[in-house]
Amino acid sequence: MNKVRTRFAPSPTGALHAGTVRTALFAWLVARQNQGEFILRIEDTDQARSDQNAINNITATLKYVGLDWDEGPGIGGKFGPYTQSERLDIYRDWANKLIENGRAYPDNTSQEHLEVMRQADKKAGRAFLFRNHRPKTTPAKASDTPLRFLSDPKSYSWVDLVMGDLSAGPEAVDDFILIKSDGYPTYNFAHIIDDYLMDISHVIRSQEFISSVPKYLNLYEALGIKVPLFATVPQVVGESGTRKLSKREGAKQLLEYQTMGVLPEAMLNFLATIGWNDGSEQEIFSKEELIKKFTLQRVQRSPGQFDEKRLLWLNGHYIRELQFDELVKLSDGYWSKSASKFDQAYKNRVLKLVQSRLKYLDELGALTSFFFEDLPIKPGLISTHKKLKDLTAQQLTDLLTKTLNELERSDFSLEDIKTRLDKLLEETSQTPAVLFSLIRIATTQSEASPELAESLEVLGKDTVLRRIKNSISSTEKA
């Protein structure tokens, strides 16, 4: 078996989102599980839209997810250069071979004339194919004259490692542009040359290219080069489930999730399981397990759906699994401004309380701000609370006063706080859903927090008593 070599070949025209990176991940997994090589190639032939910032985004995104490349920008390799704009002489040489073999011709058909031909075919009720309008005479070859492939229409059958047996008739084969007027090759031409010269064994790409495969096969034949294995990855749709994941569909660029504090391990796991599973109910996969278990044959043929809630659930799992010292390091920079006034020991106590609740690191500040500052009292938290809204102001005041009196006698050790809270439940004949919710709101100005007793212990006696007194005063004024 020839060495497995896969590639990820993005166009640097914008930031990467989940659908594109999932395709890169599948190619990376195929290479790694076969002890092969994964190549990064930058396809910047669209000079009007290519951007260095986009190239930076590509490399940064792959590094964030943990997809290392064996050859490509920043590394080099024996098949370089790995940026298409640096390979123009190579494409011209191959284009000349096609001209010599009568399989390419200069064509300066204007966009306006192309539209006239399209409308004529539409009016006649037939599909537009440029080969049906080939000019009888072609212009002299010049550096600014586009070069078009002269196709040889025929039927094709091929095997796709994801989609299975596929076929298309001659109507899918047409003449297409090889070299544009600016001297740069089109994707349809350049990627075939590059894949061949770089010994790519598996071309793994998204579904948008599948209709062009017959044209590619026709070009492979004209060039006399071996066809690699094809694997077409279905698109990723947005949360609506109907449209391709895109900025319009609300897709974030992937690095935004890094900024949010989504761990690389969670993102890798999430992307791999959009439209793929190993046949079991397993949802959590380490990188090593993915390399071992992944197969293209188990990639589903229907679109995979992007589900941000599932991503954050996965991330919460990985955060809970972190060694605490590692979480401390990763959390640096995510604390609220008010936390800067407190020492690391206190912040560590807070962090231990919320580790099991964190879904992403950027919510650390909002989840823990009450540990570092007295938040404004929000009367609406009580008036709209399903268990508290029917209590009168006097009932609320009585419950808070009894709580204040009981906690004033506490030494504020965790066990003593728990004992006194249980005692209050008995004395007030209230349920935890009522009494503990009221105490939680009074001391944190939030309906949700870590375990109540643990939160009170970390806040400390002076802070807890002061906040309950303030809440009593606010309730009495209401």
81 upstream amide cis, omega within 30 of 0: yes
In angstroms, what CA-CA distances link 152 with 102, 126, 174, 470? 11, 19, 8, 84
Provide the b/e sequence for 194-219 (b: ≥16 CB within 10 Å): bbbebbbbbbbbbbeebeebbbbbbb
> Which two structure tokens, joined as six digits, stand for 258?
């890094």
| Cβ neighbours, 10 Å, residue 301 | 13
Q: Which residues lie below 8 Å from residue 361, measured CB to CB, with a gap of 6+? A: 260, 261, 319, 330, 331, 334
Pairing, β 37-40 against β 156-160: unpaired
Neighbours of 94 (CB within 10 A): 20
**Nearest-angstrom CA–CA distance, 306 and 364:** 24
CA-atom Rg of the chain in angstroms: 31
Report the b/e string of 412-425 with b at 16+ CB within 10 A: beeeebbebbeebe
d(CA 327, CA 351) in angstroms, rounded, equals 8
Q: Which of 152, 170, 159, 165 is nearest to 220 (CA)?
A: 152
Cα–Cα separations (whole angstroms), residue 411 to 22, 237, 460, 463, 466 = 54, 56, 10, 14, 16
Question: How far is Cα 405 from Cα 424, in angstroms, rounded to an integer?
Answer: 10
- DSSP letters, 269-294, are HHHHTSSB--SSS-----HHHHHHH-
Q: Please identify every residue annotated as catalytic.
A: 247
3-state secondary structure of 72: strand
User: What are the backbone angles phi and psi of residue 289, rounded to the nearest 5°?
Assistant: -65, -40
Decide if 229 contacts 222 (C-beta within 8 A): no
* CA torsion through residues 251, 257, 259, 264, sign: negative
Kindly tell me the burial class for residue 317, based on how many C-beta atoms sit within 10 Å of its own C-beta (0-12, 13-18, 19 or more).
middle
